[in-house]
């Protein structure tokens, strides 16, 4: 598959880069983590298509960190005296 001279693999790589870049423009940390996770999942797909283990492993690890902060740590309440204004 090719669109405007760009292969499907390259297109996935460009989408991954776009989502990671967009995530750094987010002000809300939760939104940042969701958008970054989408970019990382695209990078995982890109790494699989290229058979590039460093790309796959790194981005799977980042998705796991994002998942931890979005789901697991969210369930742990923060004591009131530790909340910063």
Query: Measured between alpha carbons, how far is 71 from 57 in angstroms, rounded to an integer?
Result: 21
Q: Supply 15's token pair.
A: 């989408």
Instruction: Give the domain ranges of the chain.
Output: 2-74
19 and 36 in contact (C-beta within 8 Å)? Answer: yes
Question: Does residue 83 carry a pLDDT above 60?
Answer: no
User: Which range, 40-44, 67-71, 80-84, is most confident?
Assistant: 40-44
16: which residues sit within 8 A by CB, 6+ positions away?
Answer: 39, 40, 42, 43, 45, 46
pLDDT at position 40 is 97
Question: Does residue 79 carry a pLDDT above 70?
Answer: no
Beta strands 2-3 and 6-7, pairing class: antiparallel
pLDDT in tens, 11-48: 999 999 999 999 999 999 999 999 999 999 999 999 99
pLDDT at position 85 is 61
Question: Does residue 78 carry a pLDDT above 70?
Answer: no
């Amino acid at each position: 598959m090719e669109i405007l001279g760009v292969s499907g693999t390259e297109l996935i790589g460009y989408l991954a880069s776009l989502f990671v870049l967009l995530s750094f423009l987010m002000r809300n940390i939760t939104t940042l983590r969701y958008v970054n996770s989408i970019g990382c999942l695209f990078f995982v797909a890109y790494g699989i298509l290229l058979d590039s283990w460093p790309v796959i492993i790194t981005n799977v690890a980042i998705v796991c960190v994002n998942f931890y902060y979005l789901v697991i740590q969210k369930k742990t309440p923060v004591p009131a005296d530790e909340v910063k204004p």
